[in-house]
Structure 1
Amino acid sequence: MKFAEEVVVEEFLPTFRSMLAEELRERGLTQIEVAETLGISQSAVSKYAHGEVARREAFIEDERVRELIERAADGLANGEMSRVQALVETEVLIRELQTRGDLLAELHERAMPELAAYEGDFRIHDPESAIRTTERVLSSVRRGLRILENSSGFAGLIPNVGSNLVECTPDAATIDDVAGVPGRIFDVKGRATIPGDPEFGVSEHVASVLLTAREHGSDACAALNVRYDPSLVALFEDAGYAVVEFEGEQSLDRAIADALEATPEADVLAQTGGFGIEPVIYVLAEDAETAAESVRVLLR
């Protein structure tokens, strides 16, 4: 695991400090003054001056880096820029260079090839970045799956079509924005068997139920399907869940829309089945962990 900060320290800072030290020396500062200004040792300045520190050409040639070096050198040398301002300006530049496709981001992707799997633009430090959101969703599904795996009796709640535990991103629009188990969770000799690590876009059925529920007013971000049983419905109701039942003869999307119109606060959708349709219960929740915990509690 390679942190973005390591890339900055190892790849960017040696070149940046070397360039800035050189510019400050050209403006008449002594090695001691340069060392004090940059907050480094005099021996480090000497190494920069004698070319003993390797520089990365990509940063040297970057117009934004050169412009900041010249501006900071001028300001620090004549007193018009404080060390704090120079630090802030440099940090701003570093964040810019960490934008997807930019110099530091590309170096980070080479060190962490897994980052290349994510599409679109992002900054690794952006708290609202897509990469952070998707990883949080995947982590939540993993935790929920562990709860189900360790819940005695859960295998007995898996319908013939299999179960799935899914969670979507806050702005989900399609099943590609919903993470779930590839394939389904099946009962294999009394044990819930999960075929693989959660991924986005691998659940069509339960993901579609979640998206339909959200489209018709639900604020749920996760869903879990289990077999239908009147006694299980009663347990949910006794536990305080808002349950709505509907038949399965009509379109599932239409049935869910009608059910939520009748009971907007519903967090358990019980499809009672129909000709050729297996009855199933869909548990809606704020996240995958909560959905899994809702079922685990009923099994106690």
Structure 2
Amino acid sequence: MKFVEEIVVEEFLPTVRSMLAGELRERGLTQREVADVLGISQSAVSKYAHGEVRVNDRIAEDDRVEELVSRLGEGLATGDVTPVQALVEIEVLIRELEAGGDLLASIHEQAVPELADHDSSFRVHDPESSLRSSERVLSSLRRGLRILENASGFAGLIPAVGSNLVACVPDAEDVDDVAGVPGRIFDVKGQATVPADPEFGVSEHVATVLLAARRHGSDAAAAGNIRYDPKLLAELTERSHVTAEFDETGDVASSVGAAIEDEPAATVLYQTGGEGIEPITYVLGPDPESVADTIRSLVQD
């Protein structure tokens, strides 16, 4: 399995960076100056200069790529184009080349021949297709999970029932539209352990909280749960988060919905437990990385 984003990372970016490095060197910039402009190391510039980075000829010989590299090379060398402007223009070209039937889409289909045999009504390279949406959610979720795994002290925030980090597609309706970690994240001898890659439809409880919040007006697209602690709530409030309590002992979806209606701006939901129910705090955010960053901030101070 190979995603089109992997084609961008493995084929397009090395090719364009190599071409840009060559353009800038030809215009008199030193290796250090090229490295500063492109935001890469001098050793990387040296590898590009000595042909040690594989270049995809189909990409390098595309007229649009050649024209953009030439124009950006001139602009970056003279200072008429900033690195941010160059980044935006390259991003625009990438999206164009990812469109169905275009260069990157063609290279992707060559790498994954099965795509050509797929239902013709399904457009894998349509940026709004369901597969692309799901792909983006899973990719974002993996990044969020890496943040948590690398956060020293995160294991201490995991409740006895385990934590999860979930994210949903834009038009999510039920738990099958929400991705999470199968089996949840557990504290194993002081180390946060993610047992498997994220999948859709595997986190019913945290997904239910996220979906209920969204149905009642929250614009959150991701959520994570940690142990309940009044001190943690106070810290989150100090960081400008709005907290809201809900009742876990009743219908969770209805209770979460009522809490959001009372506090529409809530980004932290919590319940203080009950008989046989562990108290839990839920952090909401626009994406998994934001939720993970919020949780990580609680153990960094």
TM-score by length of structure 2 reads 0.62
User: CA, structure 1 residues 278+264, in 2 after alignment: closer, same or farther (shift >3 Å)?
Assistant: same
User: CA, structure 1 residues 169+243, in 2 after alignment: closer, same or farther (shift >3 Å)?
Assistant: same
Task: Provide the residue aligned with 1:139 in structure 2.
Answer: 139
Task: Provide the residue aligned with 1:157 in structure 2.
Answer: 157
Answering whether residue 206 of structure 2 is matched by residue 206 of structure 1, we say yes
Task: Provide the residue aligned with 1:282 in structure 2.
Answer: 282
Return the alpha-carbon distance in structure 1 between the equivalents of residues 182 and 237 of structure 2.
31
User: CA, structure 1 residues 120+144, in 2 after alignment: closer, same or farther (shift >3 Å)?
Assistant: farther
Task: Provide the residue aligned with 1:260 in structure 2.
Answer: 260
Task: Provide the residue aligned with 1:229 in structure 2.
Answer: 229
Task: Provide the residue aligned with 2:182 in structure 1.
Answer: 182
3-state DSSP of counterpart to 1:170: coil
User: CA, structure 1 residues 262+281, in 2 after alignment: closer, same or farther (shift >3 Å)?
Assistant: same
Residue deviations 1:156-185, cap 9 Å, x none? Answer: 110111110000000001111111101110
Q: Is the 8 A contact 1:166 1:179 kept in 2?
A: yes
Return the alpha-carbon distance in structure 2 between the equivalents of residues 219 and 213 of structure 1.
8
* Gaps in structure 1 of 5+ consecutive residues: 7-93, 98-103
Q: CA deviation at 1:96?
A: 7.7
Q: CA deviation at 1:275?
A: 1.1
Residue deviations 1:172-204, cap 9 Å, x none? Answer: 011111111011100000000000111111111
3-state DSSP of counterpart to 1:299: helix
Number of residue pairs matched by the alignment:
206
> Which letter does structure 2 place at the counterpart of 1:136?
R
* Gaps in structure 2 of 5+ consecutive residues: 8-98
3-state DSSP of counterpart to 2:159: coil
Q: Is the 8 A contact 1:247 1:274 kept in 2?
A: no
Larger Rg: 1
Return the alpha-carbon distance in structure 2 between the equivalents of residues 256 and 274 of structure 1.
16
Q: Is the 8 A contact 1:141 1:166 kept in 2?
A: yes
> Which letter does structure 2 place at the counterpart of 1:246?
F
User: CA, structure 1 residues 275+2, in 2 after alignment: closer, same or farther (shift >3 Å)?
Assistant: closer
> Which letter does structure 1 place at the counterpart of 2:225?
N
Q: CA deviation at 1:114?
A: 7.6
Residue deviations 1:251-290, cap 9 Å, x none? Answer: 2112111111111110100111111111000101000010
Q: Is the 8 A contact 1:122 1:131 kept in 2?
A: no
Structure 1 vs Structure 2: percent identity of aligned residues?
Answer: 59
Q: RMSD of the TM alignment (CA)?
A: 3.1
